[in-house]
């Protein structure tokens, strides 16, 4: 990923590699008055010591032997070292010389801030400020994306659970259905809750083992138990089967809408029921 920041009128490239930010020293040189080269900075003894300490902290593959040789020569008039030589000899990761469209010398942000001081103290301050502005903007965008994804997930979850609820809610019976005389009170309750008789369910589900009540959800079994009690009261009151069926169906719809999705009901399920 390549980003740009502007520091004191100079456009500075920032790239990301392996989750780390590297800033273009080549771009930073444009802000320096007079002739100044990265090799001039790299031959300085203080620079070499700083780079060595940074690599020691962050780079387990750093070649200390080669570093010791380079450190002993740093500062001498005859000493000269390029970024490519530094990386090849010490296996350094803080500096990188790249080719291509965004080619040049890049440094890890910690090292780039240090290099900024060689441009000027003012430049370093503005470099840090603009880099932090970039990271704040990235963080804001990431936060918005995360918030959007979280909201989308919640909406999709509700759509999914609502679809499940609609499948579990008993169908509202027609007058023709309530007018049918069913063979048993058990089938009357089955129709009120499931919308079909036991025989109809078996015909529609030939590959299912057990009966329709074995395949019922815990919510459906709770409502079925309630319907059995309510049906007994309605029989005692003298209501005929069609009237009882209409009332039981309405009660089943109301109770299932209330029960579906309640966590307390799910906690009661425990191990798989056996019949």
Residue with the larger pLDDT of the pair 40 and 246: 246
Burial of 89 (0-12, 13-18, 19+ CB in 10 A): middle
Region 154-168 average pLDDT: 53
Does the structure show a pLDDT above 70 at 165? no
Does the structure show a pLDDT above 70 at 60? yes
- At 137 the pLDDT is 87
Residues making up the chain, counted from first to last: 275
| Highest averaged pLDDT of the listed ranges 59-73, 89-103, 145-159, 205-219 | 59-73
Compute the distance between CA of residue 114 and CA of residue 128 in angstroms, rounded to an integer.
10
How far apart, in Å, are the Cα atoms of 248 and each of 17, 65, 117, 183? Answer: 66, 87, 83, 17
DSSP helix, strand, coil percent of the chain (3-state; round to 5): 60, 10, 30
Region 212-239 average pLDDT: 86
Contact 6, 24 (CB under 8 A): no
- At 35 the pLDDT is 65
Residue with the larger pLDDT of the pair 119 and 99: 119
Residue with tokens 């010398």: 105
Query: How big is the chain by its Cα radius of gyration, in Å?
Result: 38
| Residue 271 CB contacts under 8 Å (≥ 6 apart), including other chains | none
Region 183-208 average pLDDT: 88
- At 34 the pLDDT is 62
- At 94 the pLDDT is 94
Compute the distance between CA of residue 27 and CA of residue 2 in angstroms, rounded to an integer.
13
Mean pLDDT of the chain: 83
Residue with the larger pLDDT of the pair 137 and 111: 111
Compute the distance between CA of residue 99 and CA of residue 121 in angstroms, rounded to an integer.
29
Compute the distance between CA of residue 61 and CA of residue 15 in angstroms, rounded to an integer.
23
Burial of 14 (0-12, 13-18, 19+ CB in 10 A): buried
- At 266 the pLDDT is 52
Q: What percent of the chain shows pLDDT beyond 70?
A: 84
Measured distance between the N- and C-terminal CA atoms of the chain, rounded to whole angstroms:
60
Does the structure show a pLDDT above 90 at 255? no
Compute the distance between CA of residue 13 and CA of residue 18 in angstroms, rounded to an integer.
17
Region 62-82 average pLDDT: 87
């Amino acid at each position: 990923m390549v980003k740009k920041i502007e520091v004191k009128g100079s456009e500075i490239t920032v790239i990301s590699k392996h989750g780390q930010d590297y800033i273009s020293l080549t771009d930073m040189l444009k802000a320096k008055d007079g002739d100044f080269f990265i090799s001039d900075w790299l031959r300085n003894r203080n620079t070499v010591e700083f780079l060595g300490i940074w690599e020691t902290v962050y780079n387990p593959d750093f070649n200390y032997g080669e570093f010791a040789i380079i450190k002993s020569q740093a500062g001498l008039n005859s000493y000269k070292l390029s970024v490519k030589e530094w990386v090849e000899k010490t296996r350094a990761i803080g500096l990188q010389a790249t080719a291509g469209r965004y080619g040049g010398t890049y440094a890890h942000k910690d090292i780039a801030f240090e290099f900024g001081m060689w441009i000027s103290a003012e430049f370093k301050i503005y470099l840090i400020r603009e880099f932090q502005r970039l990271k704040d903007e990235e963080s804001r965008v990431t936060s918005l994306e995360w918030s959007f994804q979280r909201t989308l997930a919640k909406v999709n979850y509700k759509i999914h659970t609502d679809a499940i609820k609609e499948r579990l809610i008993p169908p509202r019976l027609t007058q023709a259905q309530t007018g049918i005389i069913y063979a048993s009170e058990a089938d009357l309750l089955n129709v009120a809750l499931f919308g079909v008789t036991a025989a109809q369910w078996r015909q529609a589900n030939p590959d299912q083992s057990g009966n329709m009540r074995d395949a019922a959800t815990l919510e459906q079994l709770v409502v079925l138990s309630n319907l059995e009690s309510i049906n007994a009261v309605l029989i005692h009151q003298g209501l005929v089967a069609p009237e009882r069926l209409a009332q039981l169906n309405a009660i089943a719809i109301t109770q299932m809408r209330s029960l579906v999705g309640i966590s307390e009901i799910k906690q009661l399920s425990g191990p798989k029921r056996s019949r």
